[in-house]
Amino acid sequence: MAGAKASGRPPGWWYPWIFVGGMLIVVAVNAVMAIVAVGTFSGLETTDHYRKGLAYQEALDATARQADRGWHVEVDFQPRPAGSKSVGEGNAQSGGDLALVFSDRDGAPLDRLEVEAQFTRPTQAGFDQTAVLDSEGGGRYRASISFPMPGQWDLRILARRDDAHFQSTLRLLVP
| CB atoms inside a 10 Å sphere around CB 153 | 22
pLDDT tens per residue across all 175 residues of the chain: 555 556 688 888 899 999 999 999 999 999 999 999 888 776 666 778 889 889 999 999 999 999 999 999 999 999 987 655 544 444 456 889 999 999 999 999 999 999 999 999 888 878 899 999 999 999 999 999 999 888 899 999 999 999 999 999 999 988 8
Dihedral over Cα of 68, 71, 72, 76: its sign:
negative
Statement: the pTM of the whole predicted model exceeds 0.85:
no
What was the pLDDT predicted at 4?
A: 54
Residue type, 35: I
CATH 3.40.47.10 is the classification of domain 71-84+91-174: no
DSSP state of 105: T
What was the pLDDT predicted at 94?
A: 80
What was the pLDDT predicted at 8?
A: 81
For residues 36-49, one letter each, b for 16 or more C-beta atoms within 10 angstroms of the residue's C-beta and e for the rest, the string is: eeeeeeeeeeeeee
Do 96 and 75 contact (CB within 8 A), yes or no?
Answer: no
Ordered strands of the 114-120 beta sheet: 72-79, 94-103, 140-147, 129-137, 114-120, 151-161, 164-174
Instruction: Give the domain ranges of the chain.
Output: 71-84+91-174
Do 103 and 139 contact (CB within 8 A), yes or no?
Answer: yes
